[in-house]
Amino acid sequence: MVSPAFPGLFFAFAGWVLLLFASVSPPAWTAVKFLSANAGSQTTVFGVLGQCVVGGACTAKHVGYNIAVAGASNVNTNPTVLHHLTYALILHPIAGAIAFIGFILGLVGIICASRIATIFMALLESLAAVIALVVFVIDMVLWNLVKNRLRDGGYTATLGNANWLTVGAVVALFLSMCTSVCGACGRFATGRAAGERY
């Protein structure tokens, strides 16, 4: 018999993986990015902990960084507000870590047929979903402001795939929360069905 916690576990895993990919963005991995900006022949990509010039150097990894587009020196992309918003990008891995802990509790709920573990999974997944939603709103504000400043300066900029990974994570985590709550109300195996010996 499939555990009532399984659908919540599946969506928790999906949300965690999507947030993991969004978190491993430039300067660690340039294939996943929040914004790609083109100025002349140079392309700059932005991530959670820094930025990279494609085929060139990357900034050091740290929370909060100065947004600078290579080749676009006439555009001020680093006012105080934008700089401070980059500090909030650390919420991606934080939401991912909370989703992972919820996933582990979901595994415990399935393996041990534990209703309380499923309830805790639902609570953690709801917390992760709210944090992921908040950071997605911050992403949209930050990267659209930078994109518009670059376009006003005559350069091209496009939102990257990390934004859509975050959207997928938000949806998966909300589905995990809903299915975990329903699963916590489901029938858990007890007695011989749970493998107990008499």
- What pLDDT shows up at residue 69? 84
- What pLDDT shows up at residue 189? 54
Q: What percent of the chain has pLDDT over 70?
A: 92
Residue 148 has pLDDT above 80, yes or no: yes
What amino acid is encoded at 115 in this protein? R
For residue 180, give the nearest of 131, 125, 108 by alpha carbon: 125
**Distance (Å, rounded) from C-alpha 136 to C-alpha 36?**
17
Q: Which DSSP letter does residue 11 get?
A: H
Question: Across-strand partners of 68?
Answer: none
Residue 192 has pLDDT above 50, yes or no: no
For residue 157, give the nearest of 144, 168, 170 by alpha carbon: 144
- SS3 assignment, position 150: helix
How long a stretch of residues is the chain?
198
Total-model pTM: 0.87
For residue 71, give the nearest of 181, 157, 155 by alpha carbon: 155
Within a 10 A sphere around the Cβ of 102, how many other Cβ atoms? Answer: 32
- What pLDDT shows up at residue 188? 56
- What pLDDT shows up at residue 196? 43
**Distance (Å, rounded) from C-alpha 90 to C-alpha 156?**
26
| Domains in the chain: boundaries | 6-186
- What pLDDT shows up at residue 136? 96
**Distance (Å, rounded) from C-alpha 60 to C-alpha 64?**
11
The alpha-carbon radius of gyration of the chain (Å, integer) is 21
93-135: pLDDT as tens digits: 999 999 999 999 989 888 887 788 888 999 999 999 999 999 9
10-41: pLDDT as tens digits: 999 999 999 999 998 888 888 899 999 988 88
Question: What are the helix (H) ranges across the chain?
Answer: 6-23, 80-87, 91-111, 115-152, 161-184
67-76: pLDDT as tens digits: 888 887 777 7
Angle subtended at Cα 160 by Cα 156 and Cα 130, rounded to the nearest 5 degrees:
135
Fold of 6-186: Butyryl-CoA Dehydrogenase, subunit A; domain 3 (1.20.140)
**In whole numbers, what is the pLDDT of the chain averaged over residues?**
86
Mean pLDDT value across residues 152-179: 93
